[in-house]
Amino acid sequence: MEILSDDKARDTVQKFNVYHCNGVRWYWIIDPNALTVMEYQATPQGYLAVAAIDAGEAFRPQAFDGLTIHLAEMMGATPA
């Protein structure tokens, strides 16, 4: 899981590649300001985006059957 920092290029490019090269099968990029989640699954060619969760939507990660995450609630925010 990666929570975006002010250095988004580092978070979404550099770390993205490092995690894949080190065998991380699932990668979630969370934007705490927009309250969004991008879910990626590793393939031999690189990560494949498998879900894009908008603000206010429930996130149900494919790696954890039955888990539901409500990011806006966790952050104590109401999405715009």
Strand partners, 3: 30
CA angle 75, 39, 8 (to 5 degrees): 70
Residue 80 reports pLDDT greater than 60: no
Amino acid type, 49:
A
Segment 11-37 shows an average pLDDT of 92
DSSP 14: I
pLDDT for position 38: 95
Rounded to whole angstroms, how far apart are CA atoms 74 and 80? Answer: 15
Residue 79 reports pLDDT greater than 80: no
pLDDT for position 13: 87
pLDDT tens by residue, 25-57: 999 999 988 999 999 999 999 999 999 999 889
